Amino acid sequence: MASPTILALGSSNQSQLAPSNTTACDSAQAIWGLLYQVLPAFIIAICIWGLLGNLFVLSIFLLPRRRLNVAEIYLANLAASDLVFVLGLPFWAENIWNHFHWPFGDALCRIVNGVIKANLFISIFLVVAISGDRYHALVHPMASQRRRRRRQAQAICMLIWGLGGLLSVPTFLFRTVETVPNLNISACVLRFPHEAWHLVRTMKLTVVGFLLPLATIVFFNYHILASLRASRQREVSQTRRGGPTSRKTTLLIFTLVVAFLVCWAPFHFCAFLELLLEVRAMQSCFWENFTDLGLQFASFFAFINSCLNPVIYVLVGRLFRTKAWELYKQWTPRSPSPGLSP
């Protein structure tokens, strides 16, 4: 079969356009057919849930019109990044439903993919910043009193958004709609001016977008857990290391970090396999099909993270639930007292 053009977070696409003559490729037709039918509905469901959930999270942080603390600034920016991310999912779902035919034109091909790619980097960098903030608050509490400033957190968030936009510039420049005669579609593909760009793109995605942030996150959270364990062993007073409030915030953030890594690890594994195919370290129809399909399903798991975070806020974030309840009582009209009835 002809491997379909892939609109996936890390796929370069053009290597997948040529039809394969090997019979092994035909074995994936049934899986592709299932993907075309099932995956778009799931993506739309994720979009709706992520849209409502992240709007809810942002409303809890922003509607009370109070100054956010440092941790809340990072969490609000993460919710905003997830919100922007899910806005691009309907285009993705329609693209898969049309067997990877892109009906929205060249401009939206660049914009949608560029925004999605930017928020891929923004999300992981924000998770690093959140872990770093917890690290300074719990492991170096005295020094963190000087470092953890609202303006500094706001500046870091602005820097992260700018860096994410900068790293997505190649996507904005080189995404284009291209006719694929053998598939009878117009596909949204990455068309780099030189083959070396493929290696640079994959290395940037894997190293800058995952491995380095992962190493940093592991470092921060290892020391956070060690600090909490030592604190319990020494029976330190609650106020010295931030008390139960700080520990609940740490549990929330640790859960967000774990969810992020679990959701995104399959995608980066498949992106690494795609690199091996591009440099011809692997050459077989099985691995081409496995990587093509893997990028689609792994991208789906990555999407789940954007709608999973609001659920984590509610289930794990006790303080978040308290703020939500306070906001509900504030915005819910109170019933008049029976004694005041006319």
Cα torsion 243, 245, 247, 253 to 10°: value is -150
For 91-118, what is each residue's pLDDT tens digit?
989 998 998 899 999 999 999 999 999 9
- Best CATH choice for the domain 14-323 from the list 1.20.1050.10, 1.10.1740.10, 1.20.1070.10, 3.40.1280.10: 1.20.1070.10
DSSP-H helix ranges across 88-211: 89-97, 105-139, 141-147, 150-167, 169-174, 196-203
Domain layout of the chain by residue ranges: 14-323
For the chain, the first-to-last Cα distance in angstroms comes to 78
pTM of the model: 0.80
Interaxial angle between packed helices 105-139 and 285-316, expressed in degrees from 0 to 180 and rounded to the nearest 10: 50
CA distance 241 to 115: 39
| Reported confidence tier of residue 239, pLDDT bands at 50, 70, 90 | very low
pLDDT tens-digit series, residues 28-64? 677 888 888 888 999 999 999 889 989 988 888 887 7
- Round the CA-based radius of gyration of the chain to a whole number and report it: 23
Residue appearing with tokens 């117009």: 186
Element holding 30 (H helix, E strand): helix 29-62
Q: What residue has token string 């892939």?
A: 6
